[in-house]
Structure 1
Amino acid sequence: MGLVLIQGPEALLADRVITNVSSRFPNAQISNLHADELEVGVITDSLAPSLFGDQRIVVIRDTQDLTAECADEVLAYLEDEDSNLLLVLWHKGGVKGKGLIDKVKRLQPEVFSAEAIKKDSEKAEFIRSEFKVLGRKITTEAVQALIDSLGSDLRELGAACSQLASDVALQKTIDQDDVAKYQQGRVESTGFDVADAVVDGRTAEALISLRNALATGTDPVLIVSAL
């Protein structure tokens, strides 16, 4: 089924690649292996052909942390690949584990980038692309407001884009005020806010408050207790 190589430390981007390539084979069984937890033999067992020819996807995360013995198991498999298996290797970068990656690249895998997004210009492009996929428009000021408030965490930034697209009226261009309201809601929502909205029959507001309360670490038990 193939060989995929993901390079870069950004977990959100790597996870999206894994989700996208896995969706090509909806009936495949997926196994996630973390390099720092693997003992010798686990990779060989995981990559062994299925007795019934089932489609499988094996994801090895943090391949830069593989021991020499485990890396050899990967290379041994690549000498005789299973046509019913998709192997996904995620290497976060650096010189550690580079020997394995160089050998993998010679096999011409499908390569995806998950490089860290550090510059504000890159973050702005990420935000715009998120809203484009979501079918929404956002002002330049709103983009900058998101960067200023959440720019250090790409996963949280992506979640904010999705939340704003869901909460703001469909025909409205998302602006700086919408971002400010989103941020204020995340800070102030409590179990009592959820309860008040439920009692008053404000279903949409209750759902927003619930999401915001959970996002800021409110214990679900406290939310239930407030109802």
Structure 2
Amino acid sequence: MPPSRRQPKVTGIPWDRVELAPVVLVRGKEDLLAERAMDSLAEQARARAREEGTGALELTRLEAATYESGRLSVLASPSLFSEPRHIEIHGLEALSDACATDVLAYLADPAPDVSLVLRHRAGVKGKKVLEAITAAGATLVQCEEIPDRDKGGFVAAEFKRARRRVDPQAVTALVDAVGSDLRELAAAAGQLISDTTGAVTPQIVDRYYGGRVEATGFKVADAAIAGDVAGALALVRHAMASGTDPVPLVAALALKLRTMGRVAASRGRDVGPEATKGLAPWQVDRAKRDLRGWTPEGLAAAITAVAAADAQVKGESRSPGYAVERAVLTVASSRAG
């Protein structure tokens, strides 16, 4: 009877629930999550070796681009003392022909007592190998980039994994203070977890990162949207004096105004809830609060001013600092009261 042509389906596993398997593919652009998944797999392999009393784990890391022909088969071959082996091949998106050939051969005849972890970041190179991994029934760990609207969820999950309570407002404050870089957010959450006790509140976040908040575009944007002309101008001058580039200052203004515009549009008959698709609930709630005191005309004027400033700070003006100040002044003055 001829073998079935149907390929086994790859099992999708969240990065923080990955379990050791003979072949694991870690795929996606979010390097921090991929590193965590691979570290977890290596630790699981060490733990299994200890539990089974099979000796110290032999762990090898290879780069797919500089891979030498025959290396995988040598590493996977039984050793004199039969130690378990854990092999990682990084950069599968840039694999050499030799690497492709050897991985395909290995998948056809996997070695016992060996766990093989393959890391593919992005792109279509190595498609044949990826298809073979799928056909072999390997475990897939998906580590795609986390969109900005979900960074708060990532931070909240960091505290949950550490069994620490965190106020939703504290999560928002931390994201506003640190920014969208996942490594920095993870490091900031880790610091708060290790250096504090009890529930993490906005006051605690402000104690650790308050100075950083004041030097970011989000603080400037908050003051401008609240109609605080003097405060917004003082903050923007302080931010630029502290070395903050004008571009992210304008970007923060644009982001908040866009969100406000989408939430305002969701109240209209012609657009409705579709306008807020993709926004987190806390973003919608915050935008609703920000919209108090704003008219459609004022919001349109503010958005137009920030769009002009965006072009100016990216090369159309000889004085980007002045362009930012003028945009901030226009935004703060556009609020009705």
Same-fold call, TM cutoff 0.5: yes
**8 Å contact kept, 2:86–2:116:** yes
Alignment-mate amino acid for residue 164 of structure 2: R
Alignment-mate amino acid for residue 123 of structure 2: G
Relative contact order: is structure 1 or structure 2 higher (C-alpha 8 Å, sep ≥ 6)?
1
* Among candidates 174, 183, 202, match of residue 146 of structure 1: 174
Correspondence for 2:27 = 7
Alignment-mate amino acid for residue 178 of structure 1: I
Correspondence for 2:145 = 116
Secondary structure of the equivalent of 2:45? Answer: coil
Q: CA separation in 2, counterparts of 1:8 and 1:131?
A: 24
Correspondence for 2:43 = 23
Q: CA separation in 1, counterparts of 2:211 and 2:102?
A: 50
Alignment deviations for residues 157-197 of structure 1 (CA, whole Å, 9 cap, x no partner):
112111101212x22x212222222225889xxxxxxxxxx
Alignment deviations for residues 97-127 of structure 1 (CA, whole Å, 9 cap, x no partner):
222111111111111111111232x211111
Q: CA separation in 2, counterparts of 1:34 and 1:178?
A: 43
**8 Å contact kept, 1:44–1:74:** no
Correspondence for 2:93 = 64
Secondary structure of the equivalent of 1:24? Answer: helix
List aligned pairs for 1:40-189, cutoff 5 A. 40-120=69-149, 122-168=150-196, 170-171=197-198, 173-183=199-209
Alignment-mate amino acid for residue 45 of structure 2: F
Superposition deviation, residue 92 in structure 1: 0.8
Q: CA separation in 2, counterparts of 1:13 and 1:174?
A: 24
Correspondence for 2:290 = none
Count, aligned residues: 184
Q: CA separation in 2, counterparts of 1:148 and 1:54?
A: 48
Alignment-mate amino acid for residue 68 of structure 2: E
User: Could you list the runs of 5+ residues in structure 1 that have no partner in the other structure?
Assistant: 188-227
Superposition deviation, residue 12 in structure 1: 1.4
**8 Å contact kept, 1:123–1:151:** no
Q: CA separation in 1, counterparts of 2:174 and 2:68?
A: 42
CA separation of 1:160 and 1:81: change in aligned 2, threshold 3 A: same
Alignment deviations for residues 78-112 of structure 1 (CA, whole Å, 9 cap, x no partner):
22211110000011122122221111111111111
- Aligned-pair identity in percent equals 36
Correspondence for 1:208 = none
**8 Å contact kept, 2:42–2:86:** yes
Alignment-mate amino acid for residue 150 of structure 1: V
Alignment-mate amino acid for residue 137 of structure 2: Q
How big is the alpha-carbon RMSD for the aligned residues of Structure 1 and Structure 2?
Answer: 2.1
Alignment deviations for residues 38-71 of structure 1 (CA, whole Å, 9 cap, x no partner):
2333334333332332101001111111012211
Alignment-mate amino acid for residue 111 of structure 2: D
CA separation of 1:186 and 1:46: change in aligned 2, threshold 3 A: farther
Correspondence for 1:224 = none
Alignment-mate amino acid for residue 124 of structure 1: G
Secondary structure of the equivalent of 1:149? Answer: helix
* Structure holding more helix per residue: 2
**8 Å contact kept, 2:30–2:144:** yes
Secondary structure of the equivalent of 2:184? Answer: helix
Q: CA separation in 2, counterparts of 1:175 and 1:5?
A: 38
